[in-house]
């Protein structure tokens, strides 16, 4: 295998890496979780743990802790499932790529939503998820943390044209990326 070939991520690594990227939008400092729901190598929805629409964010005002859990945020897996619900997308038979082992409630929700495989790269402090996943015969795969680097090397691509010739105030700050 050539060096270039081996740096290309597998499908599982690809979707886990996307879950990591999704988790960057999380708003609760106690946990940053990202979830990508996939069927037939197509992304159905993504979700991260964040507040309900209109609410404040934990990272701005502190967590809302009850019984040692922050109850302000909806978990990433739930947000991804609810996106599907909102847009009438079936999750039957799909795979959930999650940065960490789902909590018990998210695991149960994923099961009932028809998720057949869950891929994670880290555990979660307190969860009975595995017990329920076993009962429901949902496959659980613990994979290594994907390489954190996003390998996009503009300089090495001969067809790439850089923006560097543009004046700085025209490029990054032109108001099109808000």
> Residues with catalytic annotation?
77
Instruction: Please identify which residue in 18, 37, 38, 106 interacts with Zn ion, judged by CB under 5 A.
Output: 106
70 in contact with Zn ion (CB under 5 A): yes
Instruction: Please identify which residue in 16, 19, 28, 81 interacts with Zn ion, judged by CB under 5 A.
Output: 28
Residue 27 and residue 76: Cα distance in Å, rounded?
11
In the block, residue with structure tokens 């001969």: 158
Q: Say which residues have a Cβ less than 8 Å from residue 70's Cβ, sequence separation at least 6.
A: 28, 30, 31, 58, 63, 64
**Distance in Å, CB of 11 to Zn ion, minimum:** 24
Residue 137 and residue 157: Cα distance in Å, rounded?
45
Instruction: Please identify which residue in 18, 20, 58, 94 interacts with Zn ion, judged by CB under 5 A.
Output: 58
26 in contact with Zn ion (CB under 5 A): no
**Distance in Å, CB of 29 to Zn ion, minimum:** 7
Instruction: Please identify which residue in 103, 118, 119, 138 interacts with Zn ion, judged by CB under 5 A.
Output: 103
Query: Could you tell me which stretch among 9-17, 35-43, 57-65, 84-92 binds Zn ion (CB under 5 A)?
Result: 57-65
Residue 113 and residue 115: Cα distance in Å, rounded?
6
118 in contact with Zn ion (CB under 5 A): no
Cα-Cα-Cα-Cα torsion 102, 106, 110, 113, nearest 10 degrees, comes to -170
**Distance in Å, CB of 7 to Zn ion, minimum:** 33
Q: HSE on the CB side for 55, CA within 13 Å?
A: 17
Contact positions toward Zn ion, by CB under 5 A?
Answer: 28, 58, 63, 70, 75, 103, 106
């Amino acid at each position: 295998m050539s060096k270039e070939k081996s740096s290309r991520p597998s499908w599982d690594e690809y979707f886990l890496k996307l879950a990591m990227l999704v988790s960057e939008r999380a708003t609760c400092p106690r946990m940053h979780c990202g979830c990508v729901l996939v069927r037939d190598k197509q992304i159905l929805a993504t979700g991260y743990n964040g507040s309900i629409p209109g609410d404040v964010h934990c990272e701005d005002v502190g967590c809302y802790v009850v019984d040692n859990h922050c109850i302000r945020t909806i978990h990433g897996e739930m947000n991804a499932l609810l996106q599907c619900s909102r847009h009438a997308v079936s999750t039957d038979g799909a795979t959930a790529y999650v940065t960490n082992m789902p909590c018990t409630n998210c695991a149960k929700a994923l099961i009932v939503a028809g998720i057949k495989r869950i891929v994670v790269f880290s555990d979660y402090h307190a969860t009975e998820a595995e017990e329920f996943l076993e009962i429901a015969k949902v496959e659980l795969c613990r994979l290594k943390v994907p390489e954190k680097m996003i390998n996009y090397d503009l300089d090495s691509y001969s067809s790439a044209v850089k923006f560097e010739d543009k004046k700085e105030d025209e490029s990054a700050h032109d108001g099109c990326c808000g």
